[in-house]
Homo-oligomer: A and B are copies of this chain.
Amino acid sequence: MFTPPLARLIEQLQRLPGVGPKTAQRLALHILKRPEEEVNTLAKAIVEAKKQVGLCQVCFHLSAESTCEICRNPNRDNQTLCVVADSRDVIALEKTREYQGKYHVLGGVISPMDGIGPEQLNISPLVRRVSQHQIKEVILAISPSVEGETTTLYVGQLLKPFTKVTRIAFGLPMGGDLEYADEVTLARALEGRRELDYN
């Protein structure tokens, strides 16, 4: 039904996350209709991103340089470290424009079921970083799944001897409806209650 080069393209596109046979076909036919120059630019962007982007040697965030832009930025607070599971989380936090400190990307969460122990994550470099530099606070910002909780507790234990360790708050999402919140979220919201502050 598809001429071989088209079939190969559809097959490759289907390997992308969230792309099924129908979407792959639509994308492939779109690509065939675009000017050759535009298509080559797309292919080049793919190859070059893969070739050039590695991990920052300090925080393990994605970076085309040996040290990432955030680590190189002299205006950012050197004494606060936010620990996340994935580069995706750095991007999400940066979008809030609320956080001015630096990051440390673990590269995943502890998950014995998937064969991921502490050694597979960037935990030793984190401990080294915290113990060797003046860090006033480490904020653990890891999603509250079973594996995430394990990772938070494990990393927290390791870092406590060196600095103050906090974790981000869990509770009702903004705009969320108390009535529809699940019990665990509600329990966490109650537990994390704070005094009203009129400053």
Residues of B within 8 A of A63 (CB): 3
Copies of chain A in the complex: 2
B3 adjacent to A62 (CB under 8 Å): yes
Residues of B within 8 A of A32 (CB): 49-50, 53, 62
Number of A residues whose C-beta is below 8 Å from B? Answer: 53
A8 adjacent to B42 (CB under 8 Å): no
A23–B17 Cα gap in the complex (Å)?
Answer: 9
Does A38 have its Cβ within 8 Å of any Cβ on chain B? Answer: yes
B40 adjacent to A47 (CB under 8 Å): yes
Residues of B within 8 A of A2 (CB): 62, 91
Q: Nearest B residue to A17 by beta-carbon distance? A: B30
Residues of B within 8 A of A36 (CB): 50-51
A50 adjacent to B46 (CB under 8 Å): no
Segment from A64-72, A110-118, A188-196 that makes contact with B: A64-72
Residues of B within 8 A of A27 (CB): 16-17
Does A128 have its Cβ within 8 Å of any Cβ on chain B? Answer: no
